[in-house]
């Protein structure tokens, strides 16, 4: 299959440097692959990365050559979640201002998943943390290596769930199991995530890339309009609810980010060397 950078120029012209710095985007035979590309930071999401992922999804949604989109991570991690460094640059207007801006960025980021108009597939190549886990309820298929883990330690950081997980997780696995993840900070394996309906299929690490890629390539050859209309029937049933939940979750987080519980927890995180969640 021909592989081109997203929005590549007509052939013959020299490809420009990618407009994205934190992600790597390629379009090949109907598949738009968005790869989180800060492996040295375990693909932690800084503000620029939130924006670039959202922009890449919006472009893929509008690009007629794209049948479906794939999200994955470069290196050993899928994504280590929100970059806590985002909380380090307190602006002159202080914590309240930072929290408000963070809420706007997060709500927009999650909205780009809710409204993505085509099948969206995640290839979980390693540990997944925080918001990279919670948005999985908005994906149409999730393939994972057996080396992947799933961790959403919100309350241990004084925070609260996002990515519509306060709605999607109880719907996927029941409240009694969703609370283990969303309230009580339990880290689960790929197989457990499959049993809880977060993950479609788990592969041994040595076979993961090949097996997952084979599925994605096959799906991208299906009748495109049929795929898109079928998929959006399911999304349309929940769209309004998902937008409402996203807003509520971001409002609570903006409050949390200004709370003493959260500020203490983050301070402890940075001061405790080798601290583990």
Residues contributing to the site for a copy of itself (CB under 8 A) = 119, 136-142, 154-161, 166-167, 169-180, 182-185, 197-200, 215, 219, 222-227, 229-231, 233-234, 236-237, 241, 245, 248-249, 252, 255-256, 259, 261-262, 265
Nearer to a copy of itself, 74 or 183 (CB): 183
Nearer to a copy of itself, 3 or 261 (CB): 261
Residue 264 burial (CB count, 10 A) = 12
Q: Is 36 helix (H, G, I), strand (E, B) or coil?
A: strand
Nearer to a copy of itself, 20 or 208 (CB): 208
**How far apart are CB 69 and a copy of itself at their closest, in Å?**
14
- Look at the block and give the residue holding tokens 């769209």: 239
Taking each helix axis from N to C terminus, what angle separates 224-257 and 260-271, rounded to the nearest 10 degrees?
100
**How far apart are CB 165 and a copy of itself at their closest, in Å?**
9
Q: Are strands 149-151 and 188-189 parallel, antiparallel or unpaired?
A: antiparallel
**How far apart are CB 195 and a copy of itself at their closest, in Å?**
9
Nearer to a copy of itself, 89 or 226 (CB): 226
Task: Describe the strand order of the beta sheet including 128-129 as a list of residue ranges.
Answer: 128-129, 149-151, 188-189
Secondary structure letter of residue 79 according to DSSP: B
**How far apart are CB 217 and a copy of itself at their closest, in Å?**
12
- Is 225 in contact with 65 (CB distance < 8 Å)? no
Backbone angles phi, psi at 245, to 5 degrees: -65, -45
Nearer to a copy of itself, 74 or 252 (CB): 252
**How far apart are CB 131 and a copy of itself at their closest, in Å?**
14
DSSP letters, 236-255, are HHHHHHHHHHHHHHHHHHHH
What's the sign of the alpha-carbon dihedral 46, 52, 112, 24? negative
Tell me the CB-side half-sphere exposure of residue 26, using CA atoms within 13 A: 9
Give the pair of three-digit tokens for residue 64. 């007629």
Nearer to a copy of itself, 88 or 264 (CB): 264
**How far apart are CB 245 and a copy of itself at their closest, in Å?**
6
């Amino acid at each position: 299959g021909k592989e081109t950078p997203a929005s590549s120029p007509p052939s013959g012209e020299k490809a420009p440097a990618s407009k994205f710095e934190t992600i790597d985007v390629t379009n090949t035979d109907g598949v738009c692959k968005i790869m989180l590309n800060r492996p040295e930071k375990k693909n932690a999401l800084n503000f620029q990365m939130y924006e670039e992922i959202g922009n890449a999804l919006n472009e893929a949604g509008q690009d007629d050559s794209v049948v479906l989109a794939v999200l994955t991570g470069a290196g050993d991690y899928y994504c280590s979640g929100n970059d806590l460094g985002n909380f380090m640059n307190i602006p002159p207007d202080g914590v309240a201002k930072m929290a408000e801006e963070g809420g706007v960025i997060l709500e927009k980021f999650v909205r780009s998943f809710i409204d993505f108009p085509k099948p969206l597939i995640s290839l979980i190549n390693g540990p997944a943390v925080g918001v990279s886990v919670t948005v999985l309820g908005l994906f149409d298929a999730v393939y994972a290596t057996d080396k992947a883990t799933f961790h959403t330690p919100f309350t241990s950081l004084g925070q609260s769930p996002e990515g519509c997980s306060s709605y999607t997780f109880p719907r996927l696995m029941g409240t009694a199991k969703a609370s283990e993840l969303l309230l009580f900070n339990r880290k689960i394996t790929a197989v457990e995530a499959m049993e809880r309906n977060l993950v479609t299929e788990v592969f041994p690490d040595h076979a993961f890339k090949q097996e997952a890629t084979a599925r994605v390539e096959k799906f991208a050859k299906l009748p495109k309009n049929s795929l898109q209309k079928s998929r959006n029937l399911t999304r349309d049933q929940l769209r309004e609810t998902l937008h409402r939940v996203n807003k509520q979750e971001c409002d609570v987080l903006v409050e949390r980010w200004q709370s003493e519980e959260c500020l203490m927890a983050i301070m402890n995180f940075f001061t405790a060397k080798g601290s583990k969640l």
